[in-house]
Structure 1
Amino acid sequence: MGQFTDPCKTKTRTSAHEDQCDLYYECFNGQPVLQECPNGLVYHGKRTQGLFGVCDYDFMVDCSTRQARSYAQNLDQPNPCDYKSGIIGDITYCDRYWECVVGNPQLYDCPNGLVFIGRNRGIAEGCDYPWRGSYCDDKQLANPPLSTEHCDWLYGIFGHETSCTRYWTCWNGTASEQFCIGGLLYNEESHSCDWPQNVAGCQKHPLCKDDPNANVPLGKSCERYWACQGGYPRLQRCPATLVFDKRSRRCVNPPTEDCEAPTTTTAAPEDYVDDDFRGAAPPPPRRRRPSSSLSQGPPDQGSFLPNNALPFRPSSPSESRPQSPPLPQGANFREAPIDKAVPLK
């Protein structure tokens, strides 16, 4: 058994435990505090050479004089080199895993905020969000959170500080603002956008403070109104020929106490303006179908001929239609569609 050494008098501000190789003392505020190395590691004593601070693999440290281990160290941690995948989770910490590297087990940490779920799974290095499964039910976290602006951990999905329709996705400490659409709100429990009735304790908009899912009149407008969805208003319009009734707070057939039947007028093409398509051009005119070739000349061929074709230009009015025999006189006759055919009475 070794002897106690005051860590506050050492260069590294740490010292080895008397009889356990995975324990050590560290100086805090002038007092020695007992610390424990991560599972599978032992006290090394050199901060610049250890795997995690002053802790390193046991095969890198001589523990012949301090062979005792804590309970966590005595557990049977499987060797990843004995498995086909070459990787296995730590039996004590859910955010750590062991991987076989050149025949030797190596201990790794998941990115901050993630936990180990298996090789080629999760969002990064076999690690995933802890709320997607029961990965930490019988384990604990080895690493504390590393927080940045809008991010409680370096990786994760977190609620917005002032809005229920927004949230933050954090990747390596960088936050990206996201939005819930379709009247949904961010649910802190499921870490996803959810129906308003499933999200409790969310702040409300002043227009929807009385009822988070009611319809609210828009001033004196007879066609538009506010539709509250989960405490947030969305501008809506009644269907054609209907008006918004401020008493029943729904679209009804006119007239009501405040609104008459909507009037519809046909606007001239140059005055064509719509509330939703303001400034759009009027609809293009429809092309007329050409009349029968027996009553009119040939159609305008300029738009139907290739670019290198010559347009049809008759030299005289008599050439604008084919020659036909003179028609018989009388009101019961019509043009014969076939040459030399006898008209019917």
Structure 2
Amino acid sequence: MPLANLFLDLNSQAAAGVCREANGTAPVAGSCDAYIECKNGVAEEKLCPDGLLYNEKSTGYPCSYPIDVECTQPQARLQAAQPTDECPHQFGYYRMGDASHCGQFMNCAAGRGFVFDCPEGLAWNPATYKCDWPDQVEDCDAEAFLGFRCPPLAPKSELLGEQEQDYTFHPSQENCQVYFICIEGRPRRISCGEDQAFNQELNQCDDIDNVPNCSNDIRAKGAEIKAARASAAAGRRKLN
């Protein structure tokens, strides 16, 4: 039998509820969230929970989030959504807020929504299911989200040649331990360590004692942290 006909025959068998192997799973023709499960040669058609899709490549539980599945079934159908008061589907990840509030997301599990915050300065990226730089998130307004507007880039000059950098550094006006990098006109928020601050001459984080524009409170906190680290290091040396 030609190979193409063999695949067609196997797919039709799966769709008819006939097992390819004694144990395992197979797709259902025309569906992205239904599958055939075979146990000891007995076939049973099953449906993934609402919000998940059948993952033919999975070696464990056969249902996965849509981001992990390539459903190439022609005219594929999905079960009707089963929304709750908290979630649009029983399972899934969903961003909270609008384009200027991109830092929260909800994990829906069995219809219950659990809200999480991305680390400060990062936004939820629905394309990757990860917290990401806001300028990398298509529907996030990075400037509104971070509260910082990048200054316009200097126009390129034929006399001066190409600009050396397509990114610029800018200190936060509110916190000496924070600065912004503008990349192609969109900002990223960077935080220094607790005993460091942004040095505008170096365009990087530096020892807080080398940055004169920090407040007394921030300096005092930095000094406490450095003293505590020095004490801990001295204690380890005594033990050794």
TM-score norm. by structure 2 comes to: 0.57
Residue 215 of structure 1 pairs with residue 170 of structure 2: yes
SS of 2:115 mapped into structure 1: strand
Aligned residues: CA RMSD: 4.4
Contact 2:54 2:64 in 1 (8 A): yes
C-alpha distance in 2, partners of 1:261/1:92?
Answer: 63
Structure 1: tracts of 5 or more residues without a match: 1-74, 254-259, 263-272, 287-345
Task: Find the aligned partners of 1:252 and 1:106 in 2 and give their Cα distance.
Answer: 60
2:5 corresponds to: none
* Structure with the larger RCO, 1 or 2 (CA within 8 Å, 6+ apart): 2
Is 1:166–1:177's contact at 8 Å kept on the other side of the alignment?
yes
Partner of 1:116: 54
Which is richer in helix?
Answer: 2
Q: Which amino acid aligns with 1:134?
A: E
Equivalent of residue 226 in structure 1, options 178, 203, 210: 178
1:166-245 aligned within 5 A: 166-181=104-119, 183-203=121-141, 204-205=144-145, 207-210=147-150, 214-218=169-173, 224=176, 226-228=178-180, 231=187, 233=189, 236=192, 244=200
Q: Is the 8 A contact 1:213 1:227 kept in 2?
A: no
Which digits, 9 at most, give the CA deviation of each residue in 1:72-109, with x for residues without a partner? Answer: xxx66243445222532211212112234686543221
Equivalent residue for 1:342? none
1:157 equivalent in alignment to 2:112: no
Task: Say yes or no: does 1:276 pair with 2:222.
Answer: yes
Deviations 1:1-34 (A, max 9, x none): xxxxxxxxxxxxxxxxxxxxxxxxxxxxxxxxxx
The residue identity in structure 2 corresponding to 1:152 is P
**1:167 and 1:186 in contact (8 A); partners too:** yes
Change (3 A) 1:164 1:231: farther
**Contact 1:87/1:119 (CA < 8 Å) preserved in 2?**
no
Question: Is the Cα contact below 8 Å between 2:192 and 2:205 reproduced in 1?
Answer: no
Identity %: 19
Aligned partner (choices 111, 117, 132) of residue 68 of structure 2: 132
CA 1:114–1:261: 2 relative to 1, 3 Å: closer
Unpaired runs of at least 5, structure 2: 1-11, 152-166, 213-218, 235-240
Q: From the CA coordinates, give the structure whose radius of gyration is larger.
A: 1
Alignment-derived partner of residue 144 in structure 1: 80
